[in-house]
Amino acid sequence: MATIELKRVEKKFGESYAVKPLDMTIRDGEFVVLLGPSGCGKTTTLRMISGLEAVTSGNILFNGQDVTWNHPSERNIAFVFQFFALYSHLTSRDNIAFPLQAEGMARPEIKTRVAEVSTMLKIDHLLDKHPGSLSGGDQQRVALARALVRRPAAFLMDEPLGALDAEFRESMRAEIKQLHIDQHATTVYVTHDQIEAMAMGDRIVVMSNAEVQQSASPADVYHNPANLFVARFIGSPGMNLIPARYEDGMIHINGGGFRVSEGWRAALGKGLDQDGKVIVGFRPEAASIAANGALTGVTYANEMHGSYSVLHVELSRDQIVHVRADRRAAYSIGEPLRFDLNPKMVRFFHPTTEKALREEQVS
């Protein structure tokens, strides 16, 4: 397998950045997801790692060896695309065997390897069929088998489930993740789907505007977003973000508020401007409806999510937040309600820099 290092790697088209200078290390056996909206630079980054896109500057290393200018065939990687790119005139067996045949491998070894990956992916019954007779999920399994059969040092996957319907996407997510666990293969996976990213990645690299916004575990990007972009982008719905004011250990929001811990008092006192303006962030599950809650609003909408409801609560004319509620409770549109926030789940952001503040450890 491989450790992949990007050292000040950038890509420009004319004067415009597709990827701003990027430093990143993908550890041997790690599953890293590049996540972000269209045009953020994630696919260009993947293509530079693969050698399909030349870097403007910087260096790419595989296991300490500089491969920046190596041809893709010299990097010992396997690429899986969104569109399966299977040869329609070949059977699944021949599609899987094709890269080994192109390398000039002996037929007995090809036969052995094809049998191994077919058994692993449970597609033995598909080997004599042509792609046109297969479902989208089965075509993707054949495409994965074609990548696996080469036993590459790293797998690079660009939106591999994007062409599948919801049912196939869910099952294929589990299969790809299990395949990663079984093979302990270094994997770089590109998607704009945060559900895929959260479910599959050991680490998520969130990108926007051609640069990395945060690189952390799925739990960390969800609970501790590095800035307002990550807070909005991660989660469905995204994090609630409310303009507020900090003064004398209290957060003041629309006539209500709450007291913060000593650690947060230290952080807010140092990190904010003199006017005390701050952005308060919290996930829907951080709010709890309470008769004497510190914050007040009006029910604007009620969405059922199976085991729970998400209430849209209007705090003011231009401020609507999402609050999780018991699915069995009835909340009428226009009904006033009060809620509290779990102080351990609240996050704070600087309104100008948009960066997250971090609670300080106070002895």
The pLDDT tens digits of the residues spanning 337-351 come to 999 999 899 999 999
Residue 136: the pLDDT is 82
User: Which one-letter DSSP state was computed for residue 178?
Assistant: H
Can you tell me the mean pLDDT for 121-150? 88
* Residue 360, domain member (yes or no): no
* Residue 31, domain member (yes or no): yes
Residue 145: the pLDDT is 87
The answer to whether residues 137 and 44 belong to one domain is: yes
pLDDT at 168 over 80: no
> In the structure, what pLDDT confidence band is assigned to residue 336 with cuts at 50, 70 and 90?
very high
The answer to whether residues 221 and 157 belong to one domain is: yes
The answer to whether residues 222 and 342 belong to one domain is: no
* Residue 359, domain member (yes or no): no
Can you tell me the mean pLDDT for 41-52? 96
- Tens of pLDDT along 272-296? 999 999 999 999 999 999 998 989 9
User: Which one-letter DSSP state was computed for residue 361?
Assistant: P
Distance between CA atoms of 362 and 146, rounded to whole angstroms? 55
User: Residue 221 belongs to what H/E stretch?
Assistant: helix 218-223
pLDDT at 179 over 90: no
Question: Please, are residues 134 and 92 in contact by the beta-carbon 8 Å criterion?
Answer: yes
The answer to whether residues 77 and 210 belong to one domain is: yes
The answer to whether residues 91 and 162 belong to one domain is: yes
Distance between CA atoms of 161 and 196, rounded to whole angstroms? 9
Distance between CA atoms of 19 and 41, rounded to whole angstroms? 5
Residue 330: the pLDDT is 80
Give the residues across from 245 on adjacent strands: 252, 277
Residue written as token pair 């450790």: 3
Q: What integer best gives the mean pLDDT of the chain?
A: 92
The answer to whether residues 159 and 116 belong to one domain is: yes
pLDDT at 301 over 80: yes
CA distances from 158 to 81, 212, 240, 335, 346 (A): 5, 18, 30, 46, 34
Can you tell me the mean pLDDT for 345-359? 97
- Tens of pLDDT along 212-235? 999 999 999 999 999 999 999 999
Q: In total, how many domains does the chain have?
A: 2
Residue 159: the pLDDT is 87
Can you tell me the mean pLDDT for 296-317? 89
**Which of 173, 200, 232 lies at the terminal end of a domain, its last residue?**
232
* Residue 43, domain member (yes or no): yes
Identify the residue with better confidence: 148 or 339.
Answer: 339
Question: For 38-70, what is the HEC assignment?
Answer: CCCCHHHHHHHHHCCCCCCEEEEEECCEECCCC
* Residue 248, domain member (yes or no): yes
> In the structure, what pLDDT confidence band is assigned to residue 166 with cuts at 50, 70 and 90?
confident
The answer to whether residues 11 and 54 belong to one domain is: yes
User: Residue 183 belongs to what H/E stretch?
Assistant: helix 166-183
307: domain range?
237-349
The answer to whether residues 291 and 170 belong to one domain is: no
Distance between CA atoms of 157 and 63, rounded to whole angstroms? 20
Residue 203: the pLDDT is 98
Beta strands in 305-335 (DSSP E): 308-316, 319-326
Can you tell me the mean pLDDT for 253-268? 90
Question: Please, are residues 103 and 82 in contact by the beta-carbon 8 Å criterion?
Answer: no
**Which of 185, 216, 232 lies at the terminal end of a domain, its last residue?**
232
Question: Please, are residues 323 and 311 in contact by the beta-carbon 8 Å criterion?
Answer: yes
> 224-252 burial string, b = 16+ CB within 10 Å, else e?
bbbbbbbbebbbeebbbbbebebeeeebb
User: Residue 16 belongs to what H/E stretch?
Assistant: strand 16-26
The answer to whether residues 158 and 276 belong to one domain is: no
Report the range out of 7-21, 81-95, 171-185 with the highest average pLDDT. 7-21
Residue 101: the pLDDT is 93
- Tens of pLDDT along 54-105? 999 999 999 999 999 999 989 989 888 776 678 999 999 999 999 899 889 9
**Which of 177, 208, 232 lies at the terminal end of a domain, its last residue?**
232
* Residue 362, domain member (yes or no): no
pLDDT at 111 over 70: yes
The answer to whether residues 197 and 277 belong to one domain is: no
**Closest C-alpha to 323, from 295, 354, 351, 357:** 295
DSSP SS3 for 151 = coil
Residue 216: the pLDDT is 98
| Cβ-defined contacts of 46-53 (< 8 Å, 24+) | 46/156, 46/158, 46/188, 46/190, 47/158, 48/6, 48/9, 48/11, 48/19, 49/4, 49/6, 49/77, 49/156, 49/188, 50/75, 50/77, 50/79, 50/156, 51/75, 51/77, 52/79, 53/11
The pTM score is 0.89
| Residue 277: both structure tokens together | 């303006």
* Residue 250, domain member (yes or no): yes
The answer to whether residues 305 and 321 belong to one domain is: yes
pLDDT at 328 over 90: no
Residue 78: the pLDDT is 86
Instruction: Say which CATH number the domain at 105 has.
Output: 3.40.50.300
The answer to whether residues 200 and 219 belong to one domain is: yes
User: Percent of the chain scored above 70 by pLDDT?
Assistant: 99
Residue 84: the pLDDT is 67
Identify the residue with better confidence: 38 or 328.
Answer: 38
> In the structure, what pLDDT confidence band is assigned to residue 363 with cuts at 50, 70 and 90?
low
Residue 135: the pLDDT is 87
- What strands, in cross-sheet order, belong to the sheet with 308-316? 287-289, 336-341, 295-304, 308-316, 319-326
* Residue 358, domain member (yes or no): no
How many residues does the structure list for the chain? 363
